[in-house]
Structure 1
Amino acid sequence: MTSLVGFSKREPWQDTAHSIEFKRQVAQEYLSGEMPRGLAKRHDITRNLIP
Structure 2
Amino acid sequence: MEEIYTHVANLGFPIAVSIYLLIRIEGKLEKLSASINELTKAIVSLK
Higher relative contact order (CA 8 A, sep 6+): 1
Question: TM-score under structure 2 normalisation?
Answer: 0.29
Q: Which has more radius of gyration?
A: 2
Structure showing the higher helix proportion among its residues: 2
